[in-house]
Structure 1
Amino acid sequence: MKKQQHLICVAPMMDWTDRHCRVLHRMLSARAMLYTEMLTTGAVLHGERERLLAYSPVEHPVALQLGGSEPADLAAAARIGADLGYDEINLNVGCPSDRVQSGRFGACLMREPELVADCMSAMGAAVSVPVTVKCRIGVDDQDPEASLFGLVDLCAEAGVSHFVVHARKAWLKGLSPKENRDIPPLDYPLVWRLKRERPELTIVINGGIGSLDEAEAHLAHVDGVMLGRAAYHTPGLLGDVDRRLFGEGTCVGAAAAVAAYREYVASELARGTHLAAMTRHMLGLFHGAPGARAWRRILTVEGVKPRAGLEVIDRALEAVTQASPRTARSGLEAQRLAGGLEAGEAA
């Protein structure tokens, strides 16, 4: 039986999946598992903890992703995350950036599977919530079968039962982080085989998956799918996750998500958060719909101005609704339901 909580996840993405982004994604899907950006153990232990680890209660289920390679530091950081209420603590063994490598964490740890297992053992002993691993299938000249299965088996012996696998190698020298997301070839069958030969483990596949159709195809082979750039650039696809994959509710349209997010934006504006910090995650909501270009332009140009407020979102939504009468009806109704408009008032 598939472990429902992780059927669909949104990947941890640096500079993208911050707390505002995660709330927007939660407005689209109540069931998708959300992940923070990677936070280093140094940042968690010595940084502005209140700012770095803040999240909204609506985000649950939400996982904290850590970067590090010192078992004691990871255990301490995991304990802090669990005490703050995060539902899962995940270790990054997949990021290939030079900065991450210089700190001896991320994808370079694929070369030190025994150390990864020690880290996971320490984290697991420190917290009661699940500790999980996000990894690649290998790095550089490693044999993917040997590196992936070797890492997974050692971590499983240390008590880990949940793995998210980006189904391509990382090249630590010669490719940028961006190129590492596209150039190394994907090997989905290897990840499928991992699940087939380790059926007791939860295996979530990641890498290059761009639609719910593709996600459903993978779910015939693994326990879950992690969406990355597709979920960020076209977040509207998350609106059909609950209905289509969990058999719950109805499809959440982009306008309804805007109305739901609007309440959160209002509360954050009152706390001094700049509008653009929140609207930048909304740019792809109406991807492919009439008025999408005007939506992006208004949010981008007007949202960065000093004292920009909810009127910018309302103006952008009006541009979309004018381009599509159907969207107009759903958008107005959604805003009324969310308290954004009085009955009979035009957007």
Structure 2
Amino acid sequence: MDLRCPPTLFRKHSPTALNSTLKRTSSTYLLTIVCSQYQLPSRKQKHRMPLQKNPNRTCSIAPMMSYTDRHFRHFVRLMSKRTLLYTEMVVSGTIIHNLSSEYLDKILGFDTDQPPLAVQLGGDCPDELETAARVCEDYGYQEINLNIGCPSDRVQKGSFGAVLMKTPEKVADLYHRMQRVVQIPVTVKHRIGVDDLDSYEFLSNFVDTVSKAGCRSFSIHARKAWLKGLSPAQNRSVPPLDYERVYQLKADFPDLEIVLNGGIDSLDQARLHLEKVDGVMIGRAAYRHPLLCQHVDEMLFNDHSNKAITTGELLCAFQDYMNRELSRGTPASSILRHLLGFFKGEKGSRIWRQRITSFIQTKEPITDLALLYDETIGRFKDE
């Protein structure tokens, strides 16, 4: 598996010593201490893998909390070699508080076969985001994405996510502080508006302000965010989609890269959007119906060099991956949960889900996913 992690760069002081420092210092002073004590890598340091200066964003899988962990990303990578993958959002403060902890590898480590891969960061403290960006670059990510779209209450209490759209000048400063310390691109993901600030003029001004700080790539969820009255789940469906507004933004800012996110359920739909924007970012559909990723390289990247993997081949390959992970002590439930809805809508999917749930609950290892498929979904294929 070869999880990427800087071996000793951030391990010079005990977590206890760092925690005591955290309690008695201000944020700015703390970041000065952290940077000096942990010897953040210089820009001349050789990275473990060649950096792709600007990854291809024609198609990407959106960062999704509790979904796009390294197990799900491995699953997608088995089907598509070209799709840009994103981590779950990582709060910058979490990185800062765990610089001397093995937990840092858990949240930032990834398999060497997962790139092209981007990390999404959330936060509003320039010092923390600057340090977190340097740490993420050293891990080998090809892009750092700043979350300006999450509407959850927890994120709002931290004064980041979608609420930051209300202060475009601050977002521009956060972008600048991050980009100045890394060589890989920093991008921004945001909504088309927030609360009552939902005019096209507001959206255009936001993009214009942040782009003047140097940002060249914007991933835009084509819904506004209501910060009061709607849950995060409702914010993904209740506010109406407005693709035309994103199309207009691309027309008005032709030199910027505009990636469209929100409500994309099929590759045919994605191809239509690509006639108007530079890229598409697929969210929940990729998790609920992951087999759509089987033909992404061919249909969206026009790459015919890799034969689409069959369902049987996919399950066998994922079985090998799961066996390796289990031998390293990874809980089976953290892997199997991604397979629960794999065949949603197909005959036999309820039985498949029941069997997977049983394996999770009993903690019994699954030895043959392909056989389980034949016993549940496959037996209906010949009817």
Give the TM-score normalised by the residue count of structure 1: 0.89
CA distance in 1, matches of 2:345, 2:310: 13
Aligned Cα RMSD in Å?
1.7
User: Structure 1 residues 31-40 or 143-152, which shifts more?
Assistant: 143-152
* Residue of structure 2 in register with 1:339 after alignment: none
User: Structure 1 residues 279-288 or 155-164, which shifts more?
Assistant: 279-288
User: 1:173 aligns to what SS in structure 2?
Assistant: coil
| Alignment gaps of 5+ in structure 2 | 1-53
User: 2:144 aligns to what SS in structure 1?
Assistant: strand
* Residue of structure 2 in register with 1:322 after alignment: 379
CA distance in 2, matches of 1:45, 1:287: 39
- Judged with a 3 Å threshold, the aligned counterparts in structure 2 of structure 1 residues 4 and 38 are, in CA distance, closer, same or farther, namely closer
| Alignment gaps of 5+ in structure 1 | 327-347
* Residue of structure 1 in register with 2:287 after alignment: 232
User: Structure 1 residues 236-245 or 282-291, which shifts more?
Assistant: 282-291
* Residue of structure 1 in register with 2:50 after alignment: none
Count of residue pairs the alignment pairs up: 323
CA distance in 1, matches of 2:154, 2:89: 13
* Residue of structure 1 in register with 2:366 after alignment: 310
- Judged with a 3 Å threshold, the aligned counterparts in structure 2 of structure 1 residues 252 and 284 are, in CA distance, closer, same or farther, namely farther
CA distance in 2, matches of 1:147, 1:21: 36
1:129 shift after superposition: 0.5
User: 1:142 aligns to what SS in structure 2?
Assistant: coil
* Residue of structure 2 in register with 1:44 after alignment: 95
User: 1:252 aligns to what SS in structure 2?
Assistant: coil
Paired letter, 2:365:
G
Task: Indicate yes or no: 2:75 matched with 1:24.
Answer: yes
CA distance in 2, matches of 1:88, 1:26: 17
> What are the residue-to-residue correspondences of 1:198-237 with 2, within 5 Å?
198-237=253-292
- Judged with a 3 Å threshold, the aligned counterparts in structure 2 of structure 1 residues 138 and 192 are, in CA distance, closer, same or farther, namely same
Task: Indicate yes or no: 2:118 matched with 1:71.
Answer: no
CA distance in 2, matches of 1:253, 1:287: 17
CA distance in 2, matches of 1:144, 1:23: 39
CA deviations over 1:188-219 (Å, ceiling 9, x no partner): 00101111111111110001111111111100
* Residue of structure 2 in register with 1:150 after alignment: 205
* Residue of structure 1 in register with 2:135 after alignment: 80
- Answer whether contact 1:254 1:285 (CA < 8 A) is retained: no
CA distance in 2, matches of 1:60, 1:89: 13
> What are the residue-to-residue correspondences of 1:45-124 with 2, within 5 Å?
45-47=96-98, 48-124=103-179
1:142 shift after superposition: 0.6
CA distance in 2, matches of 1:259, 1:5: 29
1:314 shift after superposition: 4.5
- Answer whether contact 1:236 1:253 (CA < 8 A) is retained: no
Paired letter, 1:274:
P
CA deviations over 1:213-259 (Å, ceiling 9, x no partner): 11111001001111111000110101110111122233333322212
Paired letter, 1:214:
Q
Runs of 4+ in 1 over 6 A off after TM superposition: none
Given candidates 44, 57, 80, the residue that maps to 1:6 is 57
- Answer whether contact 2:92 2:121 (CA < 8 A) is retained: yes
CA distance in 2, matches of 1:280, 1:93: 28
1:325 shift after superposition: 5.5
* Residue of structure 1 in register with 2:3 after alignment: none
* Residue of structure 1 in register with 2:328 after alignment: 271
CA deviations over 1:70-102 (Å, ceiling 9, x no partner): 112111101100000011000000000110000
CA distance in 2, matches of 1:155, 1:82: 21
* Residue of structure 1 in register with 2:238 after alignment: 183
1:294 shift after superposition: 2.3
* Residue of structure 1 in register with 2:41 after alignment: none
Give the TM-score normalised by the residue count of structure 2: 0.81
1:158 shift after superposition: 1.0
Given candidates 241, 251, 262, the residue that maps to 1:196 is 251
